Amino acid sequence: MCYGSIVSGVMNMVGSGIQAYGQYSQAKAEKKAAFRQAELETMRAAEARSQAADAALEQGERRRQLVATGLAGAAANGVALNASPLDTSSMWEQDQEAVGAYETSKIEHDADVQAWGFLSNADMLRYQGKMATYAGRYKAWGSLLSGAGSAAGSASSAYSSYTSGGSAYSS
């Protein structure tokens, strides 16, 4: 029997097993990293919405201060501040409220778009993590099958050598 072929076959199997384990481990690590990144993207989306809420409150406060300053200036210049909706100062105040509502909705919309981008990226990262796992499994199985094929070839070579009367120490 050809000991060199047997040793070669065993080494092929061991090497393939180690390679398969490495591929599988790498895929698991890639999945874990992708899922962690997805978690961070989800947190970024929540932070974007939180910052938008704060910005909308600040914008509303600035708009109220502007209206108060404008009304005080109008009163200081002798403009009568009536409660009538047709009064010039009341119409100006209503216009400022409308502008403020528009600015607030724009801030919120922009935050929603930014959050959507973060959440979409998070979904893509999770998908990539899952695909890395599948790819790692397929690579590992490929390595194992390749090693088994090489080992079978070595065994066949050893058997052929044995049946043809070859030396036990030939390679």
Please give the structure tokens belonging to residue 13: 């199997």
pLDDT tens digits, 146-163? 888 888 887 777 777 777
d(CA 151, CA 47): 56
Amino acid letter, residue 152 = A
d(CA 142, CA 132): 15
Amino acid letter, residue 31 = K
- List C-alpha distances in Å: 146 to 3, 127, 134, 164: 21, 28, 18, 27
The pLDDT confidence band at residue 67, using thresholds 50, 70 and 90, is: confident
Global pTM? Answer: 0.66
pLDDT mean across residues, the chain: 85
In terms of pLDDT, which residue wins out, 66 or 37?
Answer: 37
d(CA 2, CA 104): 83
Give the per-residue pLDDT at 84: 65
Please enumerate in sequence order all residues whose Cβ is within 8 A of that of 1, keeping only pairs 6 or more positions apart, or say none: 158, 161, 162, 168
- Residue-range domain boundaries for the chain: 3-76+84-163
pLDDT tens digits, 29-41? 999 999 999 999 9
pLDDT tens digits, 123-132? 999 999 999 9
Range in 21-30, 73-82, 105-114 the model is least confident about:
73-82
Give the per-residue pLDDT at 92: 75
Please give the structure tokens belonging to residue 50: 């939180």
